[in-house]
């Protein structure tokens, strides 16, 4: 099983962000940590010391928590679950909030072995425009400190398609990033989320984003450059040096069960999915009343099939045709024969060793391709009336 710990706090809200997070007030951090510790113990009882092979502290900004709190949370997790001795333990951090030797040493001592830092850009003006709380110098200094302190697995997050960014600027950033030498890179295309300050700036013409053609070049040429430097693309937004793929995210994309802890965290276990209450007070109440995880839904066959196709086609390995057959009793290649032929003619998909995957150009337009697959599946009625084959099978990832 994979464990996800959601930390819903940030120092301030970035102008483009739609994740659940808030600037903590009063004793909110302590209330959160106490509630989280009780939730961990509760799930430990319910799941009977279940095996855990990865932990991911995400947010929000997990490094807003005192290092001591992370250490106590890790101890509680070890008591409640059978944590694999070689577990990958990732923690997301903003460069300014993790930048002390004591803080990093406590993280290392508590078992955090993968640091994921949100750099986002190497352009000072862009960082300001995005409302990021750190400078380029802070970020680089923190990266170097993390290496010196002994973090051997570091991811850096970047965004492309930023206001006023052109292909050359993005490639210049990538060259500087590669020189730093992180082990893993997550490069996300900027999404203009509803109800964010960024959306207002774009709608009112105060900010101009690169057009689709320029963004397409950033995606394709950026990925080509990273691969030429030894960072292999293994998912639409993720690149890693050999042996440094994120095991937690890979497990998620491959349909493994995951337990989400903390406010607003999502879980999928034994074919059921639920979301924890978002508000801190409601979250701690549902932990204390032991009702957390009681609400939720059993995933329908349609949802499971769509997730299988969507998550696997975002990875460069692709969809194992046999996995689709095991879930639906049908042949994906035959079901989508003419669409796959058309995509193949346009060099957007490839079929290799029983896997159908998107090419780099295919990944660029993956959302449009997925929509086409889903409408074909709709037309065929796949998943609408569970057939005997599918109904008899355990949910994806059960028992992992
Ligand atoms: S630090 Fe991350 S989670 Fe927090 S507001 Fe900024 S983008 Fe959102």
Q: What is the pLDDT of residue 251?
A: 96
Query: Can you give the residue ranges of every domain in the chain?
Result: 2-252, 301-391
Q: What's the pTM value of the predicted model, to 2 decimals?
A: 0.92
Q: Tell which one of 7, 13, 192 to mutate to probe ligand 1, the residue whose CB is within 8 A of the most ligand atoms.
A: 13
Residue among 249, 103, 108, 126 at smallest CA distance from 185: 249
Q: What share of the chain is helix, strand, coil (3-state, %, to 5)?
A: 45, 20, 35
Contact 262, 276 (CB under 8 A): yes
**How far is C-alpha 340 from the chain's CA centre?**
28
CB-hemisphere CA count at 13 Å for 303?
9
Whether the CB-CB separation of 167 and 245 falls below 8 Å is answered with no
How far, in Å, CA of 303 to CA of 307, rounded?
Answer: 6
**CA 8 to ligand 1 center in whole angstroms:** 10
- CB-hemisphere CA count at 13 Å for 15? 16
CB 77 within 8 A of CB 83: yes
CA 6 to mean position of chain CA atoms: 12
Q: How many angstroms separate the Cα of 213 from the Cα of each of 45, 117, 161, 220, 364?
A: 53, 29, 11, 11, 11
CATH of domain 2-252: 3.20.20.70
Nearest CA among 156, 161, 158, 157 for reference residue 219:
161
Probe residue for ligand 1, chosen from 8, 11, 14 as the CB with the greatest number of ligand atoms within 8 Å: 14
Q: State the distance from the centre of ligand 1 to the C-alpha of 120, rounded, in angstroms.
A: 11
Q: Which atom of ligand 1 is nearest to the CA of 18?
A: 8
Atom of ligand 1 nearest to the CA of 12: 5
Q: Is the dihedral of CA 280, 284, 289, 291 positive or negative?
A: positive
Spell 306-323 as b/e; 16+ CB within 10 A means b: bbbbbbbbbbbbbbbbeb
Helix (H) or strand (E) holding 53: strand 51-59
Give the CA dihedral 129, 132, 137, 140, nearest 10 degrees.
-120
Look at residue 398 in the predicted model and tell me its pLDDT: 32
Instruction: Name the region of 60 (left: φ>0; alpha: ψ -120 to 50; beta: rest).
Output: left
pLDDT on residue 77: 98
C-beta atoms surrounding 19 within 10 Å: 15
The dotted CATH code for 301-391 is 1.10.10.920
Do residues 268 and 3 touch, judged by C-beta distance below 8 A?
A: no
- 41: buried, middle or exposed (CB in 10 Å: 19+, 13-18, 0-12)? middle
Atom of ligand 1 nearest to the CA of 131: 6
Tracing tokens 């492309």 back to the chain, one arrives at 160
- Please give the chain's pLDDT, 400 residues, in tens: 999 999 999 988 888 888 878 899 999 999 999 999 999 999 999 999 999 999 999 999 999 999 999 999 999 999 999 999 999 999 999 998 887 999 999 999 999 999 999 999 999 989 988 888 889 999 999 999 999 999 999 999 999 999 989 999 999 999 999 999 999 999 999 999 998 999 999 999 998 999 999 999 999 999 999 999 999 999 999 999 999 999 999 999 999 999 999 999 999 999 999 999 999 999 999 999 999 999 899 999 989 999 999 999 999 999 999 999 999 999 999 999 999 999 999 999 999 999 999 999 999 999 999 999 999 988 888 766 444 333 333 333 333 2
Taking CB atoms and a 6 Å cutoff, what residues make up the pocket around ligand 1? 10, 13-14, 17, 19, 21, 59-61, 94, 118
| Cα dihedral sign, 185-190-194-199 | positive
* Minimum-distance ligand 1 atom for the alpha carbon of 59: 3
Token couple for 219? 């995606």
Q: Output the residue whose Cα is nearest ligand 1's atom 7.
A: 17
């Amino acid at each position: 099983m994979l464990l996800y710990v959601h930390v819903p706090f940030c120092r301030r809200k970035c102008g483009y962000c739609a994740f659940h997070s808030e600037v903590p007030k009063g004793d909110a951090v302590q209330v959160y940590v106490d509630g989280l510790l009780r939730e961990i113990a509760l799930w430990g009882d319910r799941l009977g010391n279940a095996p855990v092979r990865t932990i991911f502290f995400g947010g929000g900004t997990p490094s807003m928590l005192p290092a001591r709190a992370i250490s106590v949370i890790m101890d509680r997790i070890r008591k409640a679950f059978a944590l694999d001795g070689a577990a990958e333990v990732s923690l997301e951090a903003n460069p300014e909030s993790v930048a002390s030797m004591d803080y990093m040493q406590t993280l290392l001592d508590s078992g955090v072995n993968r640091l994921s830092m949100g750099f986002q850009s190497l352009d000072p003006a862009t960082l300001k425009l995005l409302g990021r709380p750190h400078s380029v110098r802070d970020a680089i200094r923190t990266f170097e400190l993390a290496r010196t302190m002994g973090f051997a697995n570091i991811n850096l997050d970047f965004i492309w398609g930023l206001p006023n960014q052109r292909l050359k600027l993005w490639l210049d950033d990538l060259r500087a990033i590669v020189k730093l030498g992180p082990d893993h890179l997550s490069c996300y295309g900027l999404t203009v989320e509803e109800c964010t300050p960024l959306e207002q700036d774009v709608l009112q013409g105060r900010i101009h984003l690169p057009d689709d053609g320029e963004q397409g070049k950033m995606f394709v040429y950026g990925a080509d450059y990273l691969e030429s430097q030894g960072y292999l693309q293994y998912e639409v937004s993720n690149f890693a040096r050999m042996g440094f793929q994120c095991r937690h995210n890979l497990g998620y994309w491959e349909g493994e069960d995951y337990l989400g802890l903390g406010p607003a965290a999502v879980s999928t276990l034994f074919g059921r999915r639920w979301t924890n209450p978002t508000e801190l007070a409601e979250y701690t109440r549902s932990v204390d009343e032991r009702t957390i995880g009681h609400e939720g839904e059993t995933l329908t066959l349609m949802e499971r099939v769509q997730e299988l196709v969507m998550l696997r086609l975002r990875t460069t390995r692709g969809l194992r045709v046999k996995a689709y057959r095991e879930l639906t009793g049908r042949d994906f290649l035959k079901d989508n024969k003419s669409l796959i032929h058309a995509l193949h003619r346009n060099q957007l998909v490839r079929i290799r060793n029983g896997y159908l995957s998107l090419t780099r150009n295919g990944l660029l337009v993956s959302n449009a391709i997925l929509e086409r697959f889903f409408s074909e599946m709709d037309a065929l009625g796949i998943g609408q009336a569970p057939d005997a084959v599918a109904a008899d099978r355990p949910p994806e990832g059960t028992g992992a």
